[in-house]
Amino acid sequence: MRIENMSYHAVIASPVGPLGLAEHDAQLVLLEFLPPSAPLLAATSPLLVEATRQLACYFQNPLFVFDLPWALSVSAHQHKVLAAIAAIPVGNVQTYAEISKCVQSSPRAVGGACGKNPLPLFIPCHRVVAAKGLGGFNAGRSGVDWLPIKRWLLNHEQASYG
C-alpha cells in the first residue's frame, strides 16, 4: 500500500525538480517527484541529511550506489516487482514484459507496480520501458506528465532505450 497525503519531512532541489522525502522509524519510506512550485524544506534528521547527500552524489555520478535503510509498505506482488527492478544495473533497461516473466505476472501488472513505487531513484523504476518506446512513468500522479524526468534519468545513466 502506498503512503498517501503524507507530509514530507524534507523537500530538496534536484536537477529533475523538487523531491519530497519522508522517513519512519529511521528508515526512508517515500521519495516523490514534486512540481517545480513545491517549496523546499531542509532535511534535518541524520537519515534525510544522508539521503540528500547520496542523491546529490547520484546526480553527479550515475554509478553512485545508494546505501540507505528503507522500508516498503507494498503488496507481495509489488515487492517482487520492485526487487526485480532494483537488480537492473545502471545504464541498462528491461521491458515490462521481461520483468513480468521474472515475477510470473503480466506486463500491465508490472507497470502498475512500477507506477506505485514509493522510492523511485532508490528503486530505479525509470529503467523499465515498454517493448516499443518509454512506457509510462510515475503513474501520471497529480495529472502531471513525468516522462521528461524518465528521459532525463535514462540519458543521465547513458541507457539505450527505444
Q: Which positions are annotated as active-site residues?
A: 125
Alpha helices in 24-143 (DSSP H): 46-60, 76-86, 96-103, 107-115
Q: Answer yes or no: are the C-beta atoms of 115 and 74 closer than 8 Å.
A: no
**What's the CA gap between 31 and 89, in Å, rounded?**
20
Letter for the amino acid at 18?
P
